[in-house]
Amino acid sequence: MTKAPTPLEKVQKIQAMYPNLTVEAMSEVLWDDCITHEAATLPYGGEWRGPQGFLDLMDAIAAAWKNFKVDQRVVLTNDKDLVAFRAQISGDGPAGHFDMPVLELWTFRDGKASEVMVCYFDTGVLIPGVKPKSK
């Protein structure tokens, strides 16, 4: 009997397939009612639903930033229903170059993701006209 992939293995599959993701591949990982939350102030902010919504989000991120990179640093999982990872994102946008940490929290239900929450360190550095406060 073949062992079912863990939530972490499913998230890693998505990451390995990017940018060649398909609705079919995403349907193996995300429920149709899965909600991916992005900060409302971002160009792609809001809630994205299901496999197609996730693909549309990836397209919106690619359109918003040039040279966008994700460097995954730390992964935590309980191998059942939770995957969290800290990453460093960088790229170029209308506000200039950015380089900051993010945290993604993936919640799984019955073997597929039911929610993805993306937490940015400082969305203000991504938006033109918003300057970080100095100490």
Question: Could you tell me if residue 128 is inside a domain?
Answer: no
Distance CA 6, CA 111 (A): 8
In a domain, 66, yes or no: yes
Strand pairing class (30-38; 82-93)? unpaired
The residue segments making up the domain with residue 41 are: 7-122
pTM here? 0.88
| b/e map 60-80, b = 16+ CB within 10 Å | bbeeebeeeebeeeeeebeee
For residue 63, the domain's CATH number is: 3.10.450.50
The residue type of 77 is T
In a domain? residue 131: no
Q: How many domains in the chain?
A: 1
pLDDT tens by residue, the chain, 135 residues: 788 899 999 999 888 888 889 999 999 999 999 999 999 988 899 999 999 999 999 999 999 999 999 998 899 999 999 999 999 999 998 888 999 999 999 999 999 999 999 999 888 777 776 665 555
> Is residue 132, in this structure, part of any structural domain at all?
no
